[in-house]
Structure 1
Amino acid sequence: MSDQHLNDELRQRLQNWPVLFQKYAQASTKKAILQMISTFLPYLGLWVLMYWSTFYSWWITLGLAAINAFFLVRIFIIQHDCGHRSFLQNQTANKIIGWICSFFSTIPYSYWAGVHNFHHGHSGQLEVETRDIGDLMVMTVKEFREATPLQRLGYRIYRMPIVTFVIAPVIYLGLYNRIPLVNLSGWKKIHTQLHLNNLALVALYLLLGWLLGWQRFLFIQLSIVFLFGIIAMWFFYVQHQHEGAYKEWKDKWEYVLSAVKGSTYYKLPRIMQWLTGNIGFHHIHHLNSKIPNYNLEKCATDNAFLDKYITTVTFWESLKYMHNKLWCEEKKRMITFIEYYHREYVRGLQMERA
């Protein structure tokens, strides 16, 4: 079946998607409270255990940090849902919980929520002014071909795994979420909230460093946040950088196709799905961001017809996505640098013969 036929079929089946998914977009106070208990208590318990482990072995502390980083992912998923106003029905409670979560994740609540919601409304659009807001930078084949040698080198360095998944998360958490680089219309209040969040986070770190000792506090906290950043960046990459992703110019862009084709279903073992707050059901999340994370699996199970149109990927299969570097508008897919240079070589031969 051709891609065009599948797209037409998907449009038809999801023409009433707001109604189809409405019942799953109902927040549950009970589920939300249970999720907070099963997330914050283990995180805090492991944090205390990490503190005591520093008196015996820093390596044990790092091992515990690798586990606790996933509980920080769960905390961030709660913050993420609060930013979508989906975690609880009460919006004041969502804001309070979201702000509390931000002190754990170090990601400012209001500012990040604004950027992320913009991403949901523009995911997959190729316009330069919107492409990178809330998303990873991706160049098209045409842009890479027309770039200067220095620009190409910079992009190739940026897309190196060690940079994308290790260095970039540090810059993202330490710089991009600390200063108001995104400035959309009416964002003055959001920028003010960002500065307040920065001041409150610094005050909290100063207090905890003074109480617990700077060396131990910073080693524990920064190791958790560092590993959390790597996990978060990897998930976001896998969910939007797959080979058959969806990217179009605004005049041809379609929300439904962007949600379903532009997002993967990251099929993980049950424990990993739980630790990552069901965010692997990313196609469902992009179709309706008002569905809280604890309802995503139910929605996906009840609407299994979507499996025909989505990209389902396991962890081992997702590792090959690291090689996806450029968006090919001609083939409508992500390609590797090797593919690009091979095609450019063939293209050059054809031009010589012409």
Structure 2
Amino acid sequence: MAKTIVPTDPDIRFKEFIERSDALEGAKITAAIPREYLQPSVARGFAGLAISLAVYIGAIVAIAVVDRWYLVPPLLVVAGLGGWGLHCIAHECGHGSFSRNRRLNFVVGQIALLHLLYPFHTWRHVHNLHHAHTNSLELDTDWAPIPEEMYRRMPLKDRLIYMSVRTWAVWGGSIHHWLDSGLRPSYFPKKEMRRDARRSIAVVAAFAAVYLPVLTYVTGWQGLLLYFVGPWFATHVWFSITTLMHHSAEDIPYLSADHWTKNASRLLVTIDFMYPKWLLFLTHNISVHTAHHVSPAVPFYHLPKAQAALMQAYPDMMRVERVTISKFWNILRHCRFYDPVSGLYSTQPMRRVASIEMESV
């Protein structure tokens, strides 16, 4: 995407965002988080891993033991929650907040992602790009929108993928991300990154080559679907919806290089959703997300305290909302294209998007 894409007639909300961004110029926002909140506890990290593993395996065992078809869907949701929790632990490892031991982080991170067949280092490198360029139109790797005119010029396959993962197939956003970068070392520009990627892919391939045939042999194709594919899919549902909601709202812009700043990308573009306490516990505070973007080294169990410190230092800069289905639905309806006029999202009715697709076939 060209760096010349800047709003021609900025929306008042875009202007207000830029004013707040300018107010943060030169501020050392990481200094607001006390250093003791950056100290990891390996024991607490492993406790989090054990909890998510217990939820994931427990739900799968329950599916096998209870053997009631009507309990399978809710148990798969629970398995997906456990799987998402495992990913959140891998997320800690990727940022070095699980342990100060780099090798331990890499080993635990890869183990925690095996249930998704996700190579740890490919995910780690792409995710670090997201942190380095959060809500950058040109460089963010997560959910960055494009202008509608650019969308119309895309090949039909790419348009179908782009629109699907932002509407009816939102659950497939992280699956597409995995297919696009997770299994392709050539995605990465640096030799060291490609080497890391090949190593992680080899680990995942070896695991899949042993585990999946054995699981199929012992439990049949139904067992493969129920005990692996179903939880894998359910985890991606949690994965996709959570990441989409963190940085998507009608009044939160993705910014071209002309307006993007590091401090704004850390403090102003993230929505922190108030989950129920039990869900915060099982997802390792992943929704306490602004503090994480300000300082990814903060372990998950210190995030609430780090968040409180940030809110005290920057009371008018952070956005905390109660999570609701209506807010998620609003994102699906309105947060699709970048509007080069307003600088925000271009709200497109369902009928308009459908007509664009019909004209292209």
- Please confirm whether the aligned pair reaches a TM-score higher than 0.5, indicating the same fold: yes
- Which amino acid in 1 is paired with 2:285? N
2:264 corresponds in structure 1 to: 257
In 2: Cα distance, 1:334 partner to 1:23 partner: 39
Contact 1:178 1:194 in 2 (8 A): no
1:234 corresponds in structure 2 to: 241
1:61 maps to 2:72: yes
1:318 maps to 2:328: yes
Structure 1 stretch 1-10 or stretch 297-306: which is displaced more? 1-10
Structure 1 stretch 202-211 or stretch 174-183: which is displaced more? 174-183
Q: What is the CA-CA distance between 1:169 and the residue it aligns to?
A: 4.3
In 1: Cα distance, 2:155 partner to 2:204 partner: 38
The TM-score normalised by the length of structure 1 is 0.83
1:20 corresponds in structure 2 to: 32
CA gap of 1:198–1:33, structure 2 versus 1, over 3 A, is closer
In 2: Cα distance, 1:4 partner to 1:169 partner: 30
CA gap of 1:167–1:152, structure 2 versus 1, over 3 A, is closer
1:29 maps to 2:42: yes
- Which amino acid in 2 is paired with 1:310? M
- Which amino acid in 2 is paired with 1:334? Y
The TM-score normalised by the length of structure 2 is 0.81
Unaligned runs of 5+ in 1: 342-354
- Which amino acid in 2 is paired with 1:274? F
1:178 corresponds in structure 2 to: 183
1:192 maps to 2:206: no
In 1: Cα distance, 2:37 partner to 2:214 partner: 41
Paired residue total? 331
Q: What is the CA-CA distance between 1:298 and the residue it aligns to?
A: 1.3
Q: What is the CA-CA distance between 1:220 and the residue it aligns to?
A: 2.1
Unaligned runs of 5+ in 2: 1-14, 353-361
CA gap of 1:192–1:149, structure 2 versus 1, over 3 A, is closer
Q: 1:191-340 residue pairs with structure 2 within 5 A?
A: 191-202=197-208, 203-305=210-312, 306-316=314-324, 317-323=327-333, 324-338=335-349
Residue 157 of structure 1: SS of its match in structure 2?
helix
Residue 312 of structure 1: SS of its match in structure 2?
strand
Q: CA RMSD in A?
A: 2.8
Q: What is the CA-CA distance between 1:121 and the residue it aligns to?
A: 0.7
In 2: Cα distance, 1:154 partner to 1:40 partner: 35
Q: What is the CA-CA distance between 1:296 and the residue it aligns to?
A: 1.1
Q: What is the CA-CA distance between 1:173 and the residue it aligns to?
A: 4.4
